[in-house]
Amino acid sequence: MNAIISASDLASALAGPNPPVLLDVRWQLSLAKAGGEPPFDGRAAHESGHIPGAVYVDLDRELASAPGSNGRHPLPGIEEFGAAMRRAGVSAGRPVVVYDGGQGWAAARAWWLLRWTGHPDVRVLDGGLAAWEGPLETGVPEPAQGDFSPAPGAVALLDADGAAALARSGVLFDARAGERYRGEVEPIDPVGGHIPGAVSAPTTENVGPDGRFLPAAELQARFKALGAADGKDVGVYCGSGVSAAHEALALAVAGIPAALYVGSWSEWSADPSRPVAVGPDPQ
């Protein structure tokens, strides 16, 4: 099953006999300093207009636990995540489609979590809400309670040691912007640079100007050129495990399974004992 769905196919599915549960995960990474613009309010954006029937899911509160030593967006508690999904109407026997404003990172985080916890049928709306040409509705939907019971482990997950090992034995992609990988700038975390051995593969290069994924064959060629070939194990990380989920989604579209290091650079760089590489080369 394809991990993404077009807006036209979503419209058809919503009119079909088993319409998907829709999750609206609009979110933006905020770098605003005190006294600047207020952070993006995904819930307010949802209430002002969403695809009919979509339920808002808060990335920071429902798709992650509190920031700490495990990074800025650690895994949510399994019971809390399951309860949030059931409140949103998610059931094991009903497909799920996730979307955000168009960037795709937040939607991919929800996609990955649902896949990791065993949901068999989850897709991301390619291009997000910006690609939707149908009607919107306002207000707060009240879905029927779902029955989804999360069972972690359905897809591969990396911790810091596993990411370091994979960078040596397979291929570990760094999904952040190239300047952060090289250590030239670091707007959020304690230090710039990358995990030694990791390969720079910015997630922004997986999509076209319209925010939709490149064709599967182009994605496959890109990742193979970067080293994801010859049966190597593949993993991916970013700043805090959000844009890396989007890279894992791109890899899935390309037919390449990948493990996700959720703690990512925000966890790695918080421990001064861990090595840091800088510059354009992996080592």
Q: Which burial class, exposed, middle or buried, applies to 276 when counting CB atoms under 10 A from its CB (0-12, 13-18, 19+)?
A: middle
Q: Which ranges in 88-191 belong to alpha helices (H)? A: 105-116, 160-169, 178-182
Answer yes or no: do 183 and 261 share one domain. yes
Q: Which burial class, exposed, middle or buried, applies to 158 when counting CB atoms under 10 A from its CB (0-12, 13-18, 19+)?
A: buried
Q: Tell me whether residue 143 is in a domain.
A: no
Answer yes or no: do 164 and 122 share one domain. no
Grade residue 34 by pLDDT with cuts at 50, 70 and 90. very low
Q: Tell me whether residue 239 is in a domain.
A: yes
What tens digit of pLDDT does each residue of 177-203 get? 999 999 999 999 999 999 999 999 999
The most distant pair of C-alpha atoms in the chain lies apart, rounded to whole Å, by: 55
Q: Considering its fold, how many domains does the chain have in total?
A: 2
pTM, rounded to two decimals? 0.95
142 included as an active-site residue: no
Domain of 46? 4-131
CATH number assigned to the domain comprising residue 210:
3.40.250.10
The catalytically annotated residue of 88, 171, 238, 253 is 238
Q: Which ranges in 197-236 belong to alpha helices (H)? A: 216-225
Q: Which residues pair with 148 in a beta bridge?
A: none
Reply yes or no on whether the pLDDT at 31 is more than 70: no
Answer yes or no: do 183 and 120 share one domain. no
Q: Tell me whether residue 9 is in a domain.
A: yes
Q: Tell me whether residue 283 is in a domain.
A: no
Could you tell me which of 214, 280, 283, 269 has the C-alpha nearest to residue 246?
A: 214
At 195, list the tokens: 């995990």
pLDDT (mean) for 225-245: 96
Answer yes or no: do 30 and 118 share one domain. yes
